[in-house]
Amino acid sequence: MQNYDIGNKVLEFANKYGADEAEVFISANQLTSASVRRNLIESARNQQSHGLGVRVVKDGAVGFASTNVFNRLEETVKSAIAMAKVRDSDEDWKNLPSNGKYPAVNGIFSKKVNELALEDCISLTKEMIDGVCSFSDIIAPSGSFSRMVSNQLIMNTNGVEVEEKSTAVSGFVDVITTSGLPSTAYDFRISRDLDIDFYGIGKEAANLANSCKNGVSVESGQKDVVFHPFAFSDIMESSFLSSIEADNIQKGRSSLTGKLNTDIAARELTITDNGILDGGIASSISDDEGTPSQSTGIIKDGLLKSYIYDSYTAGKEERSSTGNAVRGSYTSTPSVGTRNVVFDHPASDIISEIKDGVFVTNVIGAHTANPISGDFSVEGRNAFVIKDGQIEKPIKSLMVSGNIFELLRNVKGAGDDVRMVGSIITPSIWVSNMNVIG
Amino acid sequence: MRESEFHDVRWIEGESTSILLDNGKIEDINTNYGNGCGVRALCGGSWGYTSSEGVDGIDAAIKAAIELASDVNKHSPREKVTLASYCEPNVDTLPSVKENPRDVPVEEKVELLKDLSNNASCKGISSTSASYSESTLKVHYTNSEGADCEYELTRVGFAISAIASDGAAYQIGRESNFDVCGYEMFRDPEILEKAQSAGKTAVDLLDARQAKGGKGPVILDPELAGVFAHEAVGHASEADLVLEGSSILADRIGEEIASPLVNIIDDPTLHKFGYYPFDAEGMQSHKTDIITDGVLNSYLHSRETAGKLGGVSGNSRSQGYSAPVVRMSNTYVDNGNSNLDEMLEELGDGIYLAGTRGGQVNTGEGIFQFNAEKGYIVENGEIGYLVRDVSLSGNTLEILKNVVLVGNDLKMHSGRCGKSGQAIPVSDGSPHLLISDALVGGVQ
């Protein structure tokens, strides 16, 4: 059975069992991957997933069920309706999205990625290992290559019918030095297209581990910190992004409640949630409930301009969705989430402007932040001393702590090294007055 | 069809229900039924792995896995893998399910969550969220050596979080419990006490002071010490990480790596959240003494790593249809002889760290970082005022050596552990531990 036929069948069953509205979300993914152990390819994998989630509305209450067994469509619809019946009518529920005008989104599907043969995947993985081996005394304990081809269909009883095919390819490698005290690093790239320099992933990771050998300690104190895109995106994802989601605003779980059009960040910092970014990992013509994707300004000229909404949270405020309904998989209901988050700031040669500071490539422990207060405390990894405008010795160990909302105000500059770290796109960011514990 | 030395098939069928209550109102209610299989094939030193959802074509999946393995072996050969020998497991240690959660009406589960929310909503709490989950999983394992075994396991659990706000600041308190048992878990009034404790933590944290960072002696409560045992020691003892060169514990078997008071154990036979009767390679689960009296005794193994390093396999696990990886189960620091009062007295002036907001570890360099939920300043052996935003970081081997007292009050906590992109059920625990010197991070 084709996905359209499955979708139509589900909507028919929903109608038959008395749903007032219904939606079916079908996804079919094919993941091909190769994994590396100690400089050698250990395995190749081919993982197929194909399943559907059904959302029904009955008497103003929503129910959901999912399955990957396509001869159980009727049972699945029935359990979604049974779930809806357990709930009271929700006066905040308006409607499932209606058919809208969908934007054109470029660079989401690559024929080259779609057609990659296993042999190509193996040779790209080998390139990554070769990059690591261009340094002596450094190995790749683990790493992976992956190629994903996805097909997604959303249909509902209000006329939404959106199908989209997409591709993604990524490379990841961990490296460690094999002589002296161990020094580790990693590098990672992801793209919709086959435009990744795999050799470069291995070489950059090895170069970083190499330059972090024999780290020194630093004195504790308030310092200027430059966060590499890896470190910056990790901290932002864990301590900031949830506070712009409308459900957290509406439930009083965000420090940004009531702060629209107020000054919350450095003047030159711009943050945009962009669901239609060319080649973006989180780009698509619609969000995960069929609302057309869009670009939404979050912070501009230091002012908080908008929160992000799915159709339910938008309905609560009698406004339109920003196209931010996202799902983890077909087994989950949509909820508010960011798409591609783009950080913009005028670029300069920031290191040369810093007298006394640290450069932090990545952090561990970002997910332990308090996402409401914005307080975070992380271990800085692959960090370096910045002295009189120069990057100097590597730092053995340091903690960096602070508050994300203070950090946004203390942004002093940005590098020109914009990088796509998954769905977060950012340059290196220079922040003053960070608390560093050596 | 091309040849492989070995292949195996895991067929999994699962059914689950989850409910999320937000401020007393149902936010999400969700059921899933699914099945599928994961197939491995070994050719020389190369593995091929296929997984597919739905009922179609196990034979095709086996054929595809063999082709993948043989292609990798051809284009990028690796030293031949010899698997540790196989023996059929006894599946007679399954935990009992006194009350099948599927027989309990959904309405009753919603009422339960409302009860939890109400108990968490003490004065000062501005919002609550409560979730319930149940799942039944059937696993059937076969391999080319003739294995054929299966089990069915029911898991239930809940999580509650409460947020306190004074208008300007927000603090969260969380509690949860997940277990391998039936709905009888929810008949225990202790779960309502847990909900109350989540509310109280959030409210107390609002008035907590911020901690000053620095080095010094600390007491870890059972929850935080359990996270240390799991994250810092347990992961480094996973033999795949040892072999690939990213474990600080490589080449240290037989070496005294910890204070002689320290015993760390992984035991999947315990009826806790990390329980399983046999692992993802069909091997009998068994207890492993990782550290005995301070001496590193054993790693955790799959058949491949046990074949290479020697040792007993039984710790291969996977999430759903994903490829098996060496994992922990129920991991804990075993009881010592001290009680908390003695430890506080020995500590004198320092900090008592309690609860956890998660952590991360670099097993290669042996460095970790954990955030405590809260801390108490201890002066003259007396527990004093509450501090928040405190973290513990340092070097795994240094901390293990710095354990000066081990409590006699072992307690386990359930959770999920992530590795290789897969989340699996585990539990970890410890009695209270007194550490003579550790780096505590604070905001000041």
Q: What is the pLDDT of residues A267-315, one digit of tens each?
A: 999 999 999 999 999 999 999 999 999 999 999 999 999 999 999 999 9
Residues B214 and B90 in one domain: no
Residues B130 and B196 in one domain: yes
Residue bearing the bigger pLDDT, B441 or A336: A336
Contacts of A371 (CB under 8 A, 6+ apart): A238, A239, A242, A243
Residues A184 and A326 in one domain: no
Residue bearing the bigger pLDDT, A366 or A207: A207
Chain A, window 32-51: residues with a beta carbon less than 8 angstroms from a chain B beta carbon:
34, 37-38, 40-51
Condensed to tens digits (0 to 9), the pLDDT of residues B377-412 reads 999 999 999 998 888 988 999 999 999 999 999 999
Q: What share of chain B is helix, strand, coil (3-state, %, to 5)?
A: 25, 45, 35
- Of B140, B174, B207, which residue is a domain's last? B207
**C-alpha span between A26 and A67 (Å, rounded):** 10
Q: Is B23 on the interface with A (CB under 8 A)?
A: yes
Sole residue written with tokens 């020998």: B85
Q: Is B52 on the interface with A (CB under 8 A)?
A: yes
Report, as an integer, the average pLDDT of B102-128.
Answer: 95
Q: How far is B442 from chain A (nearest CA, A)?
A: 7
Amino acid at residue number B298: S
Q: Is residue B35 included in any domain, yes or no?
A: yes
> Where residue A251 falls among pLDDT bands split at 50, 70, 90?
confident
Residues B178 and B267 in one domain: no
Chain B, window 323-352: residues with a beta carbon less than 8 angstroms from a chain A beta carbon:
323
For an interface test with B, the pick among A32, A43, A395, A397 (most B C-beta atoms closer than 10 Å) comes out as A43
Q: What does the block give as tokens for A60?
A: 């103003």
Q: How far is A337 from chain B (nearest CA, A)?
A: 16
Number of domains making up chain A: 2
Residues of A in contact with B358 (CB under 8 A): 365, 367-368
Residues A189 and A76 in one domain: yes
**C-alpha span between A199 and A187 (Å, rounded):** 11
Query: B93: buried, middle or exposed (CB in 10 Å: 19+, 13-18, 0-12)?
Result: middle
**C-alpha span between B136 and B95 (Å, rounded):** 13
Q: How far is A104 from chain B (nearest CA, A)?
A: 32
Single out the residue of A314, A331, A308 nearest to residue A93, CA to CA: A314
Query: B374: buried, middle or exposed (CB in 10 Å: 19+, 13-18, 0-12)?
Result: buried
**C-alpha span between A120 and A125 (Å, rounded):** 9
Residues of B in contact with A175 (CB under 8 A): none
Sole residue written with tokens 């009922």: B55
> Would you put residue B138 in left (φ > 0), alpha (ψ -120 to 50) or beta?
beta
- Look at A65 and B36 and tell me if their CB atoms are within 8 Å: no
Q: Report residue B127: phi and psi, to 5°.
A: -160, 155
Q: Is B6 on the interface with A (CB under 8 A)?
A: no
- Of A187, A209, A231, which residue is a domain's last? A209
pLDDT at B1: 52
Q: Which of B28, B169, B358 sits opposite A368 (nearest CB)?
A: B358
- Look at A79 and B26 and tell me if their CB atoms are within 8 Å: no
Residue of A nearest to B56 (CA): A69
Single out the residue of A35, A80, A44, A41 nearest to residue A62, CA to CA: A80
Q: If you ran DSSP here, which 8-state letter would residue B146 be given? A: -
- Look at A44 and B323 and tell me if their CB atoms are within 8 Å: no
- Statement: residue B114 has pLDDT above 90: yes
Query: What count of Cα atoms within 13 Å lies in the side-chain half-sphere of residue A55?
Result: 25
Residues A220 and A196 in one domain: no
Q: Is B158 on the interface with A (CB under 8 A)?
A: no
pLDDT at B265: 98
Number of domains making up chain B: 2
Residues of B in contact with A234 (CB under 8 A): none
- Look at B52 and A48 and tell me if their CB atoms are within 8 Å: yes
pLDDT at B124: 93
Q: Is B55 on the interface with A (CB under 8 A)?
A: yes
Q: Indicate the length of chain B as a whole number.
A: 444
> Where residue B139 falls among pLDDT bands split at 50, 70, 90?
very high
Q: Is residue B165 included in any domain, yes or no?
A: yes
Task: For chains A and B, count residue pairs whose Cβ atoms are closer than 8 Å.
Answer: 236
Chain B, window 27-46: residues with a beta carbon less than 8 angstroms from a chain A beta carbon:
28-36, 45-46
Condensed to tens digits (0 to 9), the pLDDT of residues B140-179 reads 999 999 999 999 999 999 999 999 988 777 889 999 999 9
**C-alpha span between A378 and A232 (Å, rounded):** 11
**C-alpha span between B383 and A245 (Å, rounded):** 39
- Look at B52 and A79 and tell me if their CB atoms are within 8 Å: no
Residues of A in contact with B28 (CB under 8 A): 64, 333, 335
Chain A, window 294-333: residues with a beta carbon less than 8 angstroms from a chain B beta carbon:
331-333
Q: Is B87 on the interface with A (CB under 8 A)?
A: no
Residues B299 and B312 in one domain: yes
Residues A160 and A229 in one domain: no
Sole residue written with tokens 């600041």: B169
Q: Is residue B251 included in any domain, yes or no?
A: yes
Residues A21 and A122 in one domain: yes
Contacts of B310 (CB under 8 A, 6+ apart): none
Residues B295 and B433 in one domain: yes
Report, as an integer, the average pLDDT of B112-131.
Answer: 95
For an interface test with B, the pick among A137, A235, A379 (most B C-beta atoms closer than 10 Å) comes out as A379
Report, as an integer, the average pLDDT of B103-113.
Answer: 96
Report, as an integer, the average pLDDT of B99-125.
Answer: 96
Residues B221 and B345 in one domain: yes
Residue of B nearest to A374 (CA): B170
For an interface test with A, the pick among B22, B389, B422, B440 (most A C-beta atoms closer than 10 Å) comes out as B389
Q: How far is B90 from chain A (nearest CA, A)?
A: 30
Residues A167 and A235 in one domain: no
pLDDT at B55: 63
Residue of B nearest to A364 (CA): B360
- Look at A401 and B213 and tell me if their CB atoms are within 8 Å: yes
Single out the residue of A57, A22, A255 nearest to residue A156, CA to CA: A22
Residues B118 and B195 in one domain: yes
Residues A258 and A374 in one domain: yes
Residue bearing the bigger pLDDT, A181 or B333: B333
Report, as an integer, the average pLDDT of B209-221.
Answer: 90
Q: Which of A48, A118, A399 sits opposite B213 (nearest CB)?
A: A399
Any bridge partners for residue B53, and if so which? B36
A67, B167, B174, B199 from B122: Cα distances, Å: 39, 16, 14, 6
Residue of A nearest to B23 (CA): A251
- Statement: residue B56 has pLDDT above 80: no
Q: What does the block give as tokens for B43?
A: 């050719």
Residues of A in contact with B365 (CB under 8 A): 182-184
Q: What does the block give as tokens for B202?
A: 């959030």
Residues A202 and A219 in one domain: no
Q: Which of B26, B32, B107 sits opposite A67 (nearest CB)?
A: B32
Single out the residue of A209, A233, A399, A218 nearest to residue B369, CA to CA: A399
Task: Please report, for the domain that includes residue B65, its CATH number.
Answer: 3.30.2290.10
- Look at A397 and B367 and tell me if their CB atoms are within 8 Å: yes
Residues B228 and B203 in one domain: no
Any bridge partners for residue A90, and if so which? none
Q: Is residue B1 included in any domain, yes or no?
A: no
Q: Is A242 on the interface with B (CB under 8 A)?
A: no
Residue bearing the bigger pLDDT, A190 or A398: A190
pLDDT at B219: 98
For an interface test with B, the pick among A35, A37, A230, A404 (most B C-beta atoms closer than 10 Å) comes out as A37
A39, A104, A397, B30, B127 from A205: Cα distances, Å: 13, 36, 18, 42, 44
Residues B186 and B242 in one domain: no
Give percent of chain A with pLDDT exceeding 90: 91
Q: Is A119 on the interface with B (CB under 8 A)?
A: yes
> Where residue B443 falls among pLDDT bands split at 50, 70, 90?
low
- Look at A381 and B362 and tell me if their CB atoms are within 8 Å: yes
- Of B156, B173, B207, which residue is a domain's last? B207
Residues A136 and A186 in one domain: yes
Chain A, window 331-390: residues with a beta carbon less than 8 angstroms from a chain B beta carbon:
331-333, 335, 364-365, 367-368, 370, 372-373, 375, 377-379, 381
- For chain A, the first-to-last Cα distance in angstroms comes to 61
> Which strands, in side-by-side order, build the sheet including A270-274?
A303-304, A295-300, A270-274, A340-344, A424-426, A419-421
> Where residue B2 falls among pLDDT bands split at 50, 70, 90?
low
Residues of B in contact with A46 (CB under 8 A): 49-51, 64-65, 68
Chain B, window 270-289: residues with a beta carbon less than 8 angstroms from a chain A beta carbon:
none
- Look at B170 and A66 and tell me if their CB atoms are within 8 Å: no
Give me the domain span that covers residue A309: 215-438
- Look at B246 and A142 and tell me if their CB atoms are within 8 Å: yes
Report the run of H or E that residue A398 belongs to, with start and end: strand A398-403
Residues A163 and A276 in one domain: no
Mean pLDDT score of chain B, rounded to an integer? 94
- Of A158, A176, A209, which residue is a domain's last? A209
Q: How far is A426 from chain B (nearest CA, A)?
A: 24
A2, A150, A207, A290 from A284: Cα distances, Å: 21, 12, 35, 10
- Look at A46 and B391 and tell me if their CB atoms are within 8 Å: no
Task: Tell me the residue ranges of DSSP E strands in A38-137.
Answer: 40-58, 61-67
Task: Tell me the residue ranges of DSSP E strands in B180-306.
Answer: 209-210, 214-220, 264-266, 288-292, 295-296
Report, as an integer, the average pLDDT of A76-88.
Answer: 94
Residues A153 and A180 in one domain: yes
pLDDT at B391: 87
- Look at B26 and A87 and tell me if their CB atoms are within 8 Å: yes
Sign of CA dihedral B211, B215, B221, B226: positive
- Look at B30 and A123 and tell me if their CB atoms are within 8 Å: no
- Of B172, B207, B242, which residue is a domain's last? B207
- Of A188, A209, A230, which residue is a domain's last? A209
The C-alpha torsion from A358 through A362 and A365 to A366, rounded to 10°, is: 90
Sole residue written with tokens 């190509």: A120
Residues A278 and A181 in one domain: no
Give me the domain span that covers residue B39: 6-207
Query: A328: buried, middle or exposed (CB in 10 Å: 19+, 13-18, 0-12)?
Result: exposed
